[in-house]
Amino acid sequence: MSKKPFAITLGVGTSLANKTGSWRVERPVYVDRLPPCNNACPAGENIQGWLYEAEEGNYEAAWRLLMTANPLPAIMGRACFHPCETSCNRAQIDEAVGINAVERFLGDQAIEEGWRVPVVAEPSGRRVLVVGSGPAGLSAAYHLRLAGHEVEIHEAAPLPGGMLRYGIPAYRLPRDVVEAEIDRIVQMDVRLVLNSRIERVSDAMAQGGFDAAFVGIGAQRGKHPDIPSGDAAKVLDAVSMLHGFEDGEAPVLGRRVVVYGGGDTAMDAARTAQRLGATETIVVYRRTRDHMPAHDEEVLDAQAEGVQMRWLSTVARADGGRLTIEKMVLNDKGVAEPTGEFEDLEADSLVLALGQDTDLSLVGDWSEVVTTGGVVNVDVSQMTGRAGVFAGGDASSSPTGERTVTAAVGHGARAAAAIDAWLAGGVFEPVAERPLATVERLNSWYYADAPRTMRPHLEAIRRRSNFDEVVGGLTAEDALFEARRCMSCGNCFECDNCFGVCPDNAVIKLGPGLRYEFNLDYCKGCGICAKECPCGAIDMVPEHR
């Protein structure tokens, strides 16, 4: 069985106006709906499209289609929390397709095989400054280079990657993977300048002769709430802790470590503390697990490694070797309120993981660049109030408030398209959305019961003493099987059902990859084809008389 969910769009026959028949009130038409996985991907990937190539065993073709949206598949296959799988229609039938696992397989295959993306666009003669080499900056640079622009990335740190390197521990994201995917982008003739802190974007643009700029500096300053503490208390923030460890300056935390916060950074800090020798690590969070922003897999992995969770608690004071913890209670609106009940908790150090801030002084000399809540306000094209200056990632506003690697990659891609249009004197036009392919349109009986393939995990007892990668990858056989679990929601994959069930031979096969069309000389409009279409790719529409 062959799938071609994004093949040539079909017509509906010839000489339609005179051959409908007075007895037909509806006619069938083939449609292309938006798969829920594609719709949920912040990076804008055509997931269904590259899964089709993968399920045919065309791994390089799948990777190249994936790379049209996302230049970091091996990284994203590890760091993305896969909202595509949460939205996958198959999850309502058995289990979601392991999209993230297949993406990682393709990314790893590309690194192993040395696949490259050629720059075929003619040089535009325009120069673009990219500030920051995190996921947003890398994505913007990649797409801008493909459009033919000269790109220069300036990174303040001695090594590239931003939060990919300094915020995500190596047990989740090995550094050789980060370096390989960055190197692929640099090999496209993208200039990368390290140890280069941009104090003012305006000055850098003028001195370098840049026509446009993209700011993707991330949020790499931990927030420091006002917690009373004694002189002997050891208090540090999670961002500095993770960054310092990556720079070879591992902090001395002691045997008993408390991490204050409930996000993914808190989980990373706690799991890193375990690996740095802590014998007891406790995460203190002011609300309950249901309200915790950390992703489930991060919490479960932390608990499997021995990290303890202390819900409905807040740190009231830190003294040498001891914390004062106040118990909290949730009101009827889910807001945590203090109870006035206190207890002591022994701790050699307190790690604060209560959010991150961005240093926006580099755009502070432009009055038209507006900041709100510590981020730069941008429009739908990621442009700031200053024409030609764009921003993305954690440094920019987001309609969803999402601050993830995947969202940053999407911001970079969108900004690159907008910069390309702006440099050409045009206006960025978002792609019009298609109707969503919902599960109610599918015929689940068509799809065989196929349990999801699970990625191997390093045993918990072996994790705490090293930074080896915890989650393994799929074999080629498993990746093929997992890709084939895709149901091609909303898009024809040439299963021949409509051709086989039509009682009037009104369905015409156009050849491999070309799908079908309806011969309305014969079609009675019975709708059997639409009812029997496995993926909901046929609509019955009223006749116009």
What's the chain's average pLDDT? 92
Residue 11 pLDDT: 38
Q: Is the separation of the CB atoms in 32 and 6 below 8 Å?
A: yes
Pairs from 208-212 (Cβ < 8 Å, separation ≥ 24): 208/127, 208/129, 208/152, 209/127, 210/127, 210/128, 210/129, 210/152, 211/126, 211/127, 211/128, 211/388, 211/423, 212/126, 212/128, 212/129, 212/388, 212/389, 212/390, 212/419, 212/422, 212/423
- Coil vs helix vs strand at 98: coil
Q: Is the separation of the CB atoms in 130 and 115 below 8 Å?
A: no
Cα gap 316→284, rounded to integer Å:
11
Are both 194 and 232 inside the same structural domain?
no
Query: Using 50, 70 and 90 to split pLDDT, how confident is the model at 545?
Result: low
CATH number of the domain bearing residue 274: 3.50.50.60
Q: What percentage of the chain carries pLDDT values higher than 70?
A: 95
Query: Using 50, 70 and 90 to split pLDDT, how confident is the model at 479?
Result: very high
One DSSP character per residue, 361-421 reads: GGGTT-TTS-EETTEE---TTSB-SSTTEEE-GGGB--SS---SHHHHHHHHHHHHHHHHH
Q: What are phi and psi of 342, to 5 degrees?
A: -125, 155
pTM assigned to the model: 0.92
What is the arithmetic mean of pLDDT over 366-381? 92
- Residue 373's beta-bridge partner residues? none
pLDDT tens digits, residue range 50-89? Answer: 999 999 999 999 999 999 999 999 999 999 999 999 999 9
Reply yes or no on whether the pLDDT at 412 is more than 70.
Answer: yes
Reply yes or no on whether the pLDDT at 21 is more than 60.
Answer: no
Are both 412 and 452 inside the same structural domain?
no
Reply yes or no on whether the pLDDT at 123 is more than 70.
Answer: yes
E strand residue ranges, 301-378: 308-310, 313-319, 322-330, 336-346, 349-352, 356-357, 371-372, 375-376
Are both 64 and 43 inside the same structural domain?
yes
Query: Using 50, 70 and 90 to split pLDDT, how confident is the model at 336?
Result: very high
In a domain, 514, yes or no: yes
Paired tokens of 223: 């927030």
Q: Is the separation of the CB atoms in 79 and 103 below 8 Å?
A: no
Are both 472 and 513 inside the same structural domain?
no
Q: Residue 152 belongs to what domain range?
A: 127-220+358-423
Cα gap 286→327, rounded to integer Å:
8
Are both 203 and 136 inside the same structural domain?
yes
Are both 159 and 238 inside the same structural domain?
no
Cα gap 168→164, rounded to integer Å:
6
Say how many C-beta atoms besides its own lie within 10 A of residue 329's C-beta: 12
Query: Using 50, 70 and 90 to split pLDDT, how confident is the model at 353?
Result: very high
What is the arithmetic mean of pLDDT over 255-270? 96
In a domain, 8, yes or no: no
* Chain-centre distance for alpha carbon 7: 26
Closest CA to 136 of 340, 397, 337: 397
More confident residue, 543 or 168: 168
Residue 489 pLDDT: 97
334 backbone φψ class: left, alpha, beta (φ>0; ψ -120 to 50): left
Residue 398 pLDDT: 78
In a domain, 3, yes or no: no
Cα gap 441→220, rounded to integer Å:
45
Are both 175 and 245 inside the same structural domain?
no
Write the CA distances from 367 to 183, 191, 217, 374, 384, integer angstroms.
37, 30, 19, 15, 11
- Coil vs helix vs strand at 30: strand
Say how many C-beta atoms besides its own lie within 10 A of residue 195's C-beta: 10
Reply yes or no on whether the pLDDT at 508 is more than 50.
Answer: yes
More confident residue, 180 or 16: 180
Reply yes or no on whether the pLDDT at 277 is more than 70.
Answer: yes
Paired tokens of 156: 């303040």
- Residue 257's beta-bridge partner residues? 281, 349
Cα gap 97→112, rounded to integer Å:
24
What is the arithmetic mean of pLDDT over 7-11? 34
H/E element, 212: strand 212-215
Cα gap 264→173, rounded to integer Å:
14
* Chain-centre distance for alpha carbon 323: 37
CATH number of the domain bearing residue 462: 1.10.1060.10
Are both 149 and 242 inside the same structural domain?
no
Query: Using 50, 70 and 90 to split pLDDT, how confident is the model at 22?
Result: low
Residue 505 class from Cβ within 10 Å (0-12 exposed, 13-18 middle, 19+ buried)? Answer: exposed
Cα gap 420→417, rounded to integer Å:
5
Cα gap 419→144, rounded to integer Å:
8
* Residue listed under structure tokens 């120069």: 127
Query: Using 50, 70 and 90 to split pLDDT, how confident is the model at 400?
Result: low
Reply yes or no on whether the pLDDT at 179 is more than 70.
Answer: yes
Which residues have C-beta within 8 Å of that of residue 371, sequence separation ≥ 6?
A: 360, 363, 377
In a domain, 59, yes or no: yes
Reply yes or no on whether the pLDDT at 16 is more than 70.
Answer: no
Paired tokens of 83: 């909202």
In a domain, 182, yes or no: yes
Are both 93 and 53 inside the same structural domain?
yes
Number of domains in the chain: 4
Reply yes or no on whether the pLDDT at 3 is more than 50.
Answer: no
Q: Is the separation of the CB atoms in 126 and 211 below 8 Å?
A: yes
Helices then strands, counting H and E runs in the chain, come out as: 18, 21
Are both 106 and 191 inside the same structural domain?
no
86 backbone φψ class: left, alpha, beta (φ>0; ψ -120 to 50): alpha
Q: Which of 338, 356, 374 is the last residue of a domain?
A: 356
Write the CA distances from 70 to 47, 91, 107, 378, integer angstroms.
11, 24, 10, 21
pLDDT tens digits, residue range 433-469? Answer: 899 999 999 998 888 888 999 999 999 889 988 999 9
In a domain, 7, yes or no: no
Query: Using 50, 70 and 90 to split pLDDT, how confident is the model at 267?
Result: very high
More confident residue, 41 or 1: 41
CATH number of the domain bearing residue 498: 3.30.70.20
Query: Using 50, 70 and 90 to split pLDDT, how confident is the model at 25?
Result: confident
Cα gap 371→376, rounded to integer Å:
4
In a domain, 48, yes or no: yes
Are both 226 and 180 inside the same structural domain?
no
Are both 283 and 371 inside the same structural domain?
no
In a domain, 246, yes or no: yes
Reply yes or no on whether the pLDDT at 501 is more than 90.
Answer: yes
Q: What are phi and psi of 313, to 5 degrees?
A: -145, 150
What is the arithmetic mean of pLDDT over 162-171? 95
Cα gap 310→325, rounded to integer Å:
10
Closest CA to 397 of 360, 361, 353, 364: 360
Angle at 495 between CA 489 and CA 500, to 5 degrees: 125
Query: Using 50, 70 and 90 to split pLDDT, how confident is the model at 221?
Result: confident
H/E element, 284: strand 280-284
Residue 431 pLDDT: 85
Residue 5 pLDDT: 37
Judged by average pLDDT, the poorest of 314-318, 389-393, 461-465, 478-482 is: 461-465
Query: Using 50, 70 and 90 to split pLDDT, how confident is the model at 15?
Result: very low
